[in-house]
Chains A and B, each alone.
Chain A
Amino acid sequence: MTEVITPSQTVGPFFAMRLPWPDGPFVVPEGTPGAVTVVGRLLDGAGNVIPDGMIETWQADPEGRFAHPHDPRGPSAAGYRSFRGFGRCPTDPDGSYRIVTLKPGPLPSPDGGTEAPHLDVSVFARGLLHRVVTRMYFPDEAEANAADPVLSSITERARRDTLLAVAEPGGVLRFDIRLQGDGETVFFDV
């Protein structure tokens, strides 16, 4: 028997009372060896920044594994004790967010292929009645990205490129998210 699921409602303008965590942006603690910083801005259909949104990220560890019962391979031997896999950051008055994490490894796909390293990204905001979901891929993985089943399913180059972070000086990755209009980010039905 299947029950009707509970529908989504907007996160509204006041989620900042509860949802931001002091350590939310830190998938690993700042200064962790090998950490990468992802920054970006959340933009609306008029090109204006969205100062009341929230970004969440979920990803594999550097070996492409998850400490979760649904990963049949089990957790990495290394353990990555300080690595949570999950990041959460509200956007600030400039519409900006920042996540500190470790680069995930490539992942095996059930069809026998390999997924390139990526983050699953959820966006919440006033005016979004349901979260929107996208993926962030890494700019230094040209070969893996070309073979990735999700990226290669998006045939239009300009659209596909909205899923690629851009390397900035200092080892920072920029991943802007445009909810609507020119350069609209590809969003997924998961």
Chain B
Amino acid sequence: MTADVPVAPADVTATDQAVNASGPAKLALPSYGRPRGVHPPLDFEGYRSTALRHPRQPLVLLPQRLTEVTGPLLGNDIITPTDSDLTMQHAGEPQGQRIILEGRVLDSDGRPIPDTLIEIWQTNAAGRYRHAREHHPAPLDPNFTGIGRCMTDAGGKYRFITIQPGAYPWGNHHNAWRPAHIHFSLFGRAFTQRLVTQMYFPGDPLFAYDPIFNSVPDERARQRLVAQFDMDLTQPEWALGYRWDIVLRGRDATVFESEVDDK
């Protein structure tokens, strides 16, 4: 990916302007690609909880119309400064390895997605979530809640300061452990771009054993879930830097057609 080439924000294109100028007589809408083989299947044997929660009927193809190509555009007014610094939400500093997490939200054509809300949640350094239904016998940290949010800037960039989450056990199978991860929720600019996912850390020895990570069928797509350690982002005497770009569906209708032809 060419990281620093300026590209027009995804919402402002010559096509949009032409459509707006033509008035209400003609309704020309963008179309979002439907990449195949990237998202996990809803029925995945290795992840037991999918058994009773996946539809058995095939999904019905929904042509994208107005409701699908629009989406909530939330304002900056819902964000406070400490929302993106998970180490500053309590009186004291949390335990654990401080990290800087930075990246960009792009569409698959490389266009940055500005002004979009990102929400994150994670365990503390010991691998424990602050949640009533969490029973992992690891200590809570009174100085760490593990939730954050921010808006991307005009270039699609986001930045969080947090601590390295821990691995934790779960009941899926004998001796099951989730690799350390941070949950991400994103809106993009359209209903079609809504995404909930998880970010992992490079080189985790638990990858090979985790059915959720391995539910993604495509190797290149799976690697999309893994952040990169970044020495340039690392700050001396203070915090390690990780970089993770998030790529949402793009607006090129021809992408859909060519990818279908490839199958």
Contact = CB atoms under 8 A, between A and B. Distances in A.
Interface string B1-37: 1000000000110001001101010111110011100
B225 interface: yes
A32 interface: no
A9 B190 CA distance: 19
Q: Interface size for chain A: under 10, 10 to 19, 20 to 34, or 35 or more residues?
A: 35 or more
A83 B255 CA distance: 34
Interface in A139-190: 149-150, 153-154, 159, 179-181, 184-190
B98 interface: no
Given A8-B39, A107-B66, A129-B44, A17 B225 contact: no
Contacts of B16: 69-70, 72
B222 to A, nearest CB: 7
A125 interface: yes
A8 B22 CA distance: 37
A129 B39 CA distance: 8
B47 A189 contact: no
A176 to B, nearest CB: 14
Contact of B52 (A19, A46, A58): A46
Secondary structure at chain A's binding surface: helix, strand, loop or mixed?
Answer: loop
B195 A8 contact: yes
A134 to B, nearest CB: 9
Interface string A35-68: 0000000001110101010001011100000111
Given A18-B119, A70-B29, A109-B65, A4 B224 contact: yes
A153 B222 CA distance: 35
A161 to B, nearest CB: 14
Contacts of A124: 196
A79 B176 CA distance: 52
Q: Secondary structure at chain B's binding surface: helix, strand, loop or mixed?
A: loop
A120 B64 CA distance: 11
Interface of B: 1, 11-12, 16, 19-20, 22, 24, 26-30, 33-35, 38-42, 44, 47, 49-57, 59-74, 106, 108-110, 119-121, 129-131, 133-134, 145-149, 183, 185, 189-192, 194-198, 212-213, 215-216, 218, 220-222, 224-225, 246-250, 252, 255
18 contacts: A3-B106, A6-B221, A6-B225, A9-B40, A9-B183, A9-B197, A11-B185, A12-B198, A14-B183, A15-B183, A67-B73, A70-B69, A72-B20, A126-B49, A128-B50, A129-B41, A130-B42, A188-B59
Given A11-B196, A18-B120, 6 more contacts: A18-B119, A70-B11, A132-B42, A149-B63, A184-B55, A187-B59
The 10 closest A-B CB pairs, nearest first, are A127-B49, A86-B72, A127-B53, A129-B40, A188-B62, A68-B70, A18-B121, A45-B52, A189-B59, A9-B198
Interface of A: 1-19, 44-46, 48, 50, 52, 56, 58-60, 66-74, 84-86, 107-110, 115, 118, 120, 122, 124-133, 135, 149-150, 153-154, 159, 179-181, 184-190
